[in-house]
Amino acid sequence: MRRDPLIALRPWESPEVTSWGRLPMNAVDRRNDALSLDGSWHFQLVPAPGASSGEWTRIEVPGAWTMQDVGDLPQYTNFRMPWGEFPPTSPTANPTGVYERSVDIPAEWAGRRIVLQVGAAESVLLVHVNGHPVGISKDSHLAAEFDLSDVVRPGGSATLRLTVIKWSDASHIEDQDQWWHAGITRSVLLYATDALHLGDVTVRALRDGRLRVDCQVRNASGALPEGWYVTGALEGHQLLAQDTEFDRLNAEDMRVSDFLGEARLRTTVRDVRPWTAETPELYELTVRLHRADGSVADTSHHRVGFRDVEIRGRDLLVNGERVFIRGVNRHDFHPLTGRTVTADDMRADLVVMKRFGFNAIRTAHYPNDPALLDLADELGFYVVDEANIESHDHAHEIADDPRYLTAFVDRVSRMVLRDKNHPSVIIWSLGNESDYGANHDAAAGWVRRHDPTRPLQYEGAAKLDWSDETVASDIVCPMYAPIEDCVAHALSGKQTKPLIQCEYSHAMGNSNGTLADHWAAIESTPGLQGGFIWEFWDHGILQRVNDGRPAGRAGVGLYDNGVAAPGHRWAYGGDFGETIHDAAFIADGVVFPDRTPKPAMYEHREIAAPVRLTYDQGVLLVHNRQHFRTLEWLTAEWHLVRADGGTESTPAELPDVLPCESAAVHVPFPLPESPEGEAWLTLRVTTAGDEAWAPRGTEVCLPQVRLGTGTTAAPVPVAGPPAEVDEQGLLVHPILAAPPVLSLWRAPTDNDEIGGMAARWRDWGLDALVRKVVDVRREGAGVTVVAEYATGGGTVRHEQLITPVAGGLRIEETAELPDTLDDVARVGTVFETIAGFDLLEWYGQGPWESYPDRSAGAPVGHHSLAVDELLTPYLRPQESGGRHGVRRFALSAPDATGLTVELGAPSQVSATRHRAEDLAAAAHHDELVPRPGCVVHLDAAHRGLGTASCGPDTSSQYLIAPGIHRWTWTLCVP
């Protein structure tokens, strides 16, 4: 039997084989003129390459087969390979998908060059047409093109067979922190060009208006014909007529060999509007290739942004300005289709990022769908474009392995060739977490020669010595470095390169603590310029609970506000039956799988706000925190909030402030005069007109300053019936389903679990405190209850003084923690109410969730939310729903009955339907059963969140020290 020559090559075992028959990568975009082959294809899944045929079915292209119920499911690992073979070997059990469909080749393509483009295939692609072998390609995240001119007939039908092999030697360098999928995950196109065609176009546009366009010309029929030439037109506003047309090429602007022609076009645009992330100005460029008779053989369209990128000293400059990089890492992800995303999906991603203050994206850890860069150009983002290289599990061996040298250079160079004309791309990245070796240096050398206009970065090159000037990284881009280390480096006198963290502030679960502190250090320390939060998405896949399979495309409408509908849940590692996995570590984004922002997004929005306020010694300043834009695109309104419940509003006239400058304005309201006159002034800033990423009136930020510093007077004790306590010294009240007791534990966050704090709290027994009454003393109408709690870290003494006051009871509490309990989760009170209360109203920070080290984005005000909306639905249930700095709150029923609590000092408060043990016991939200009443926590101290699941823990100022803690609260029942 004749063997398939492509199978005989066994490319999945040969790292030296990166392609065969594949056309060179280029920046000529053919998407608009192509015939789409997306849709339903015949498909069969076989157990290994070359295995006998299986059962044919139908499958959607593009789309991972792991998401389409064909018998092979997704698997999540962080850095471990999902099988034990060492590089370059792949497992014998190797799912292989065979795709087939017929396509009618347009008759008008006769005599033309016909090209097949497969947008992405994981991980090895074999192409056959009408039974003929055409080519091979690796690299799961870049398109592969093949010339079909010799194997198809215009006017006839052709049978395409695309064979995709899941595992290969290439899998070892695609070991990224994401779901393992397989299949054809981006669009498949067929297009035709003239035999004489543009092979590549390189655009270089500088902020001073100078434009250079380098063109490569090829002829598929053989030698280049005589007399061809290239012209170009730049369309745009405010350009003079002579600037909109390039001159016909002179002889010195052309170089021609037998098979490759090179042409260069130049012009200068007067009064150019430079491109930045704040002002994404684009010009339409059309390049035309002409035959000798003047007819057009080929055309290429580009959107040009005029901008410069350079490193000067230890500063990264865009158009000569030192810009802050407020970035986020992004994967191609969708909860229903896995790796396959549409242009509308990507636009929605970027719109959310823009609305929450992000100005930069790192394409972790591979080149994203090309439509993403089109959108980044249009909407305004700085992009670190990252090559599809990560060898995390075997990084040290592969970095210097010459068998992988070609793969490294091939992946980096093809990314650069595809994406070089995008103004949004300001930095090239050699990949991620692959150690550092000769293979990186080889790839870096190619990039520096081909594109000297952009800097290069790679975390692995600089991680051993941030001051080393010889390594292949122009930027020091560490991961999760403590901010103290970053500041120390900047102040050391040894810094020679910009420091921009490629990953920081790990967003797993209830996280992103100390983000504001981090940015306060960045903004005040020359040499520090920002970083990229890890990451944008929680990669939860919508799963049918009844059979454990992905919901697939039919799942639209089965989620809302971060929550999966009944009968479904957000799946993470291990939920598809896999034994090798890394559990919920895939749920580490600032948005939920349905793109609902997590509370941490509001923290980032305020930190990155274009407008800030300061108030000092009676002077109110408005600060423009942008680098290139004035405040003209914004409008605003002043809001004053008083502690007594009063509020006032008035329109604000934003001053004419240049970028990075400030202006004084008048305080728009009278200052409070009484000692109880705490008041907060907020500037609600919105878009004045329609932006590409936000309609008119979209909220941009809520900067706030405190005007008055008074506090509310405590209620005065009154004569009346004594407080009721039972024989255990527990407060008895008709509105309480469970009495107030000491709480030292929280349902562990992901940071608590992975950082090791939760294990220590369990060892101490804080999750199951046993209360022992020591003394109950009655003095008049008051009652003092003393109790002790034995823990693995010593005995905690807790005292409550319960005193009747006007309208209720005042509870004064003291807890004494021994020195051995040097880091507990909280110190405070927990009680439960009877059923019926469904609304929480509070005066404090909000309306979204906030914690001691993540509260900069939650303004003080009078807020209200349904109790059922207070809990944040992190994919793995954990401590959530807290509100920081609460002074007063009320829980009420529809009939207006309820309770009010006055806090003696601003406190951390939560009111949900779940006890901490309920949250800790559940792996997914569909396992939670709401309690009828409210579980209320009043914390005198609450531990910060930090980011210890991957990175630094919270700062010492947000830890809870041993010793004596005191707090007071008043329970009032109308």
- CB count in 10 Å sphere of residue 777: 11
Q: How far apart are CA 758 and CA 747, in angstroms?
A: 9
Q: How far apart are CA 689 and CA 378, in angstroms?
A: 17
Q: Helix (H, G, I), strand (E, B), or coil: what is residue 731? A: strand
Q: How far apart are CA 942 and CA 766, in angstroms?
A: 14
Q: The tokens of 652 are what?
A: 């604000």
DSSP letter for 421, please.
Answer: T
Q: How far apart are CA 136 and CA 128, in angstroms?
A: 9
Tell me if 558 sits within 8 A of 568, measured CB to CB: yes
Whose tokens are 């920070």? That residue is 845
Strands 360-362 and 382-386 turn out to be parallel
Told to judge if 691 belongs to the known catalytic residues of this protein, a careful annotator would answer no
Tell me if 919 sits within 8 A of 879, measured CB to CB: yes
Whose tokens are 């692959």? That residue is 434
- Of the listed 174, 386, 433, 603, which one is catalytic? 433
- Report CA torsion sign: 385, 391, 392, 396: negative
- CB count in 10 Å sphere of residue 241: 6
- Report the half-sphere exposure of 294 (CA within 13 A, side-chain side): 0
Contacts of 121 (CB under 8 A, 6+ apart): 137, 140, 144, 162, 164, 183, 184, 185
Q: In angstroms, how far is CA 884 from the centroid of its own chain?
A: 25
Q: Helix (H, G, I), strand (E, B), or coil: what is residue 427? A: strand
At how many degrees (to 10) do helices 515-524 and 599-607 cross? Answer: 20
Q: How far apart are CA 363 and CA 178, in angstroms?
A: 13
Told to judge if 278 belongs to the known catalytic residues of this protein, a careful annotator would answer no
Q: Is the peptide bond before 678 cis (omega within 30 degrees of 0)?
A: no
Q: Is the peptide bond before 280 cis (omega within 30 degrees of 0)?
A: no
- Report the half-sphere exposure of 836 (CA within 13 A, side-chain side): 14
Tell me if 620 sits within 8 A of 705, measured CB to CB: yes
Q: How far apart are CA 565 and CA 567, in angstroms?
A: 6
DSSP letter for 768, please.
Answer: G
- Of the listed 122, 503, 678, 753, which one is catalytic? 503
Q: How far apart, in Å, are the Cα atoms of 140 and each of 77, 184, 756, 817, 965?
A: 17, 9, 36, 55, 56
Query: Which secondary structure element, helix H or strand E, spans residue 154, and what is its range?
Result: none
Residues with catalytic function: 433, 503
